[in-house]
Amino acid sequence: MIPTMEHTKERAYEIWEHEGRPAGRDIEHWVKASRDLYREQISERLESGLGKLRELRERATDQVADAKADAEKALDTLERNATVLRDRVNALGNAAPGAWDELREGVEKAWGDFTAGIEKSTKVMTKAANGTAPKRPRRKAAATKKAAPKKAAPAAKKPASTTRKKASKATAKRSA
């Protein structure tokens, strides 16, 4: 997703010319060109992804109730991811040169989340359209069964000392 050297070089030259060919600002122009090209690339991909999102949303209206609910949930998540991605792309335009790398990493993560969501939604809808979507088990009404009677707790064992006393009394009776 990073702009090529050739594109960055051309854009930096355009910026340099536009600013009246100032001397000693080549690094500044290079960073600005790189950032601008990157924003443009991400913005184009985002618009493409949003087109796919709109297409998936239209397909979701044709799905059966359970699959439709799953699809709507996935699409809502996609829209949130798209909003995060758009906000981060917009933040790139105002970023100071030192913050640009950090913001770019955030954009890359948001882009990954967005594209993974598009893929997941596409699979869900394809399965639903083919009738292979997993069916949700229906909730059963709570049964009104009577509770089984509790078993009596086993009698507690007597301490060993009591058992020994009885045994010795029995032995004494036998010997007498």
Q: Which of 1-5, 57-61, 78-82, 138-142 has the highest mean pLDDT?
A: 78-82
Q: What percent of the chain shows pLDDT beyond 90?
A: 16
- What's the pLDDT score for residue 138? 47
**Which overall architecture, per CATH, does domain 5-129 show?**
Up-down Bundle (1.20)
Find out whether 116 and 50 touch, Cβ atoms under 8 Å: no
pLDDT tens per residue across span 7-20: 999 999 999 999 99
- What's the pLDDT score for residue 144? 45
38 vs 114: CA distance, rounded Å: 17
Find out whether 62 and 130 touch, Cβ atoms under 8 Å: no
pTM: 0.48
Average pLDDT in the 138-164 region? 49
- Could you tell me which of 149, 127, 152 has the C-alpha nearest to residue 67? 127
pLDDT tens per residue across span 27-85: 999 999 988 999 898 889 889 888 888 888 777 766 666 677 777 888 888 888 888 88
What are the extents of the domains in the chain?
5-129
32 vs 34: CA distance, rounded Å: 5
Could you tell me the pLDDT band of residue 143, with boundaries at 50, 70 and 90?
very low
Q: Which residue has the higher pLDDT, 127 or 160?
A: 127
- What's the pLDDT score for residue 71? 75
Average pLDDT in the 78-106 region? 79
